[in-house]
Structure formats: C-alpha cells, structure tokens
Amino acid sequence: MKESLHALARLDESLSFIYIERAIVERDNNSLVIIRADDRVPIPISSLTVLMLGPGTNITHAAMTVIAENGCTVQWCGERVVRYYATGLGETRNSERLLRQIKYHQDPALHLAVVKKMYDKRFPDISLNNMNLRAMRGMEGVRVREMYKTLAQIYKVRWFVRNYNLYDIALGSGINKALSVANSCLYGLCHSAIVSLGYSPAVGFIHTGRILSFVYDIADLYKMDTVVPAAFRVVGKGSTDISRDVRIACREMFKDKKLLKCIAKDLTKLFDIENELPLDPATSLWDGNDRMIAGGRNFGSEEVE
C-alpha cells in the first residue's frame, strides 16, 4: 500500500531538540536561520524533531510554514526551558494510533496490561504477574530514591531530596535546578514523539488528569537512564551555567541512547502493534459495528435501505 507522507511520521533518525532565545527565526530556502545581531546560524529543520522557543524569540510566518512542512514540533517555553506554554501540531494526520490508544485506555484489562508493560521495562528481571499497582508504585519509588543516592555518590553531589519551586526553579539547589531543566528537555522530546507518531499526550495510563499525562508516562520509562545521570554529571563537574550545560548533556545523551528510535519501538509494544497500522490518507466514515467505509463522496444519490 502506498504510504501517505502526512500519515507516516519518520522519526527514528531525527535530531532531538534545539533551544533558542532572544533571536529572530527566519526561513532560508527549505531550512531555518537563527539571527542574533550579525550572527546567522543555519538550522537543518528537515532532520529536527523539536524546536524550543524561549523568551525574546521572534519567528516569521515563512519559518513556521517550513517547520510545519517538515513535521517539526514547535514548543514555546520559559527562559532556559523551565516552563512549558504551548506546542504546535505534529505531522501525523491519521488517527489510527490515537483510536487504538483510546481503546486500550478505556478497556480495564488492556489498560492494566499497558501499565504492567511500563513497569516491566523498569524491572526486566522481576516478575510482576502477581503484583498489584500499589506494590509496583512502591518498587518504582524505591528505585528512584536509590538511583538519586547512587548518582550523588558517584558524582560527589550534595543531595537531600527532590525539591523545587514550580514557579521559580532558581530558588532550588543546583542539582534540583539541573534536574528540572533535564526533565523539561525529556518531556519536550517525548511530547514531540508522541504527537508525531499519532498518539495523544493527554491519554495517560499511569499518570492521569493532566493534558500531558501520557508524556509523563513515556518520559518515566527513560528518565533514570538518561536525563537524571546527565544532570548529576553536569553539577558534579562544577558547571557555572547549569541550564545550558544540562541541555547540551541531555542532547548528547538522547543521541547516544538513540532515544527517538526507542520511543517509537516501545510505543508499538505498548499497544501490541506488530506491523504498521493501515495508513489511508483518505477520509473514512463509520458505518456501525466497527465497520468503516470510504469517504470523500456524496451519498445523497444512494437508495435508502
């Protein structure tokens, strides 16, 4: 079957993200250019997954057009990626994966199966078959707490507890600031991957009630193996610009771990997608009892049964 370029998102080999603040973003042929004073930096938008725009950023209509054409997600965020405000639409236009996600969310047995798969990824050597959700959450809490302690010892970072001010992370300790920035980078990448692959960031399975619940679900699968170690390493080296150095460390970590490829692969496993779902660019119509018929035509001339 011929694939629709608007339905099939090609995410696996993309770059992760670029953060920009206090600059002008313009189109340059089929790419972007970042302008600060007399400095012009080209951006290969065709291979970029997330463009994060911080304060003082001006972006042209032409630039947004080429971004949309290349399936890059745009996120408007606070200074140094410490807050999230809004995001643009991903490139996938097919709803097959979204409908599958909702089906699994609404069916209690399928919902629980997805949750167990998420915990199985964290604890591959432990059988969770006879374990309830409360016990799984407890195991996860212990795992996270011990990981913080271990990383603090490895990188010689003073650590007490994860604590931060939601409205001003600068009030927290260096490591808590670094963790907040690192988490923001991971959330942005997971959000973009989820939307680009045709899922909803709001339909979570472990997390619920937030517009980014599924983003938190997916980010937690990788957080302790990627951004958390990166944050501790940057602080342990005595960084004088924690936010910048953490962003760079996270970007390198995402590349080394091939995180986008992992996210795409793990999402198919969560929803039991063995092969690519049918991606028909044409509009379909529901015909009752889960039957679908082709749309895009006038049914007024048909005889009524």
**Per-residue pLDDT tens over the stretch 246-260:** 999 998 999 888 898
Same domain, 127 and 55: no
Count H helices, E strands: the chain?
9, 10
Same domain, 72 and 183: no
Task: Report yes or no on 46 lying in a domain.
Answer: yes
Worst-scoring range by mean pLDDT, 118-122, 166-170, 175-179, 268-272?
166-170
294 alpha-carbon distance from chain centroid: 32
CA geometry: angle 169, 174, 180, nearest 5 deg: 45
Same domain, 74 and 150: no
Task: Report yes or no on 240 lying in a domain.
Answer: yes
Higher pLDDT, 264 or 81: 264
Same domain, 67 and 114: no
Same domain, 77 and 123: no
| Domain boundary pick from 60, 87, 114 | 87
Task: Report yes or no on 49 lying in a domain.
Answer: yes
| Domain boundary pick from 70, 87, 104 | 87
Distance (Å, whole) CA 274 – CA 159: 43
Same domain, 144 and 260: yes
State the DSSP code for 17: E
Domain with 136, as residue range(s), is 96-270
Q: Specify the number of domains making up the chain.
A: 2
What pLDDT shows up at residue 171? 61
Same domain, 72 and 204: no
Rg of the Cα trace of the chain? 21
| Domain boundary pick from 69, 87, 105 | 87
Same domain, 43 and 141: no
pLDDT band at 7 (very low <50, low <70, confident <90, very high): very low
pLDDT at 4 over 50: no
What pLDDT shows up at residue 282? 56
DSSP string, 149-190: HHHHHHHT---------TT-GGGS-HHHHHHHHHHHHHHHHH
Task: Give me the phi and psi of 147, to 5 degrees please.
Answer: -65, -40
Same domain, 123 and 45: no
Task: Report yes or no on 252 lying in a domain.
Answer: yes
What pLDDT shows up at residue 155? 95
Task: Report yes or no on 147 lying in a domain.
Answer: yes
For a pLDDT cut of 70, what percent of the chain falls above it? 79
pLDDT band at 216 (very low <50, low <70, confident <90, very high): very high
Give CB contacts under 8 A, 24+ apart, made by 86-89: 87/191, 87/192, 87/195, 88/64, 89/195
pLDDT at 278 over 70: no
pLDDT band at 229 (very low <50, low <70, confident <90, very high): very high
CATH number for position 167: 1.20.120.920
Task: Report yes or no on 184 lying in a domain.
Answer: yes
Residue 70 · residue 31 · CB < 8 Å? no
From edge to edge, which strands make up the β-sheet containing 31-36? 39-43, 31-36, 23-28, 57-59
Same domain, 59 and 34: yes
Higher pLDDT, 35 or 13: 35
**Beta-bridge partners for 36:** 39
Q: According to the per-residue pLDDT averaged within each range, which of 37-41, 46-50, 75-79, 220-224 is highest?
A: 220-224
Same domain, 127 and 36: no
pTM of the model: 0.72
What pLDDT shows up at residue 15? 59
Size of the chain, expressed as the number of residues it contains: 305
Task: Report yes or no on 286 lying in a domain.
Answer: no
Query: 50, 54, 43, 122: which is closest to 84 by C-alpha?
Result: 54
Task: Report yes or no on 260 lying in a domain.
Answer: yes
Same domain, 227 and 105: yes
CATH number for position 68: 3.100.10.20
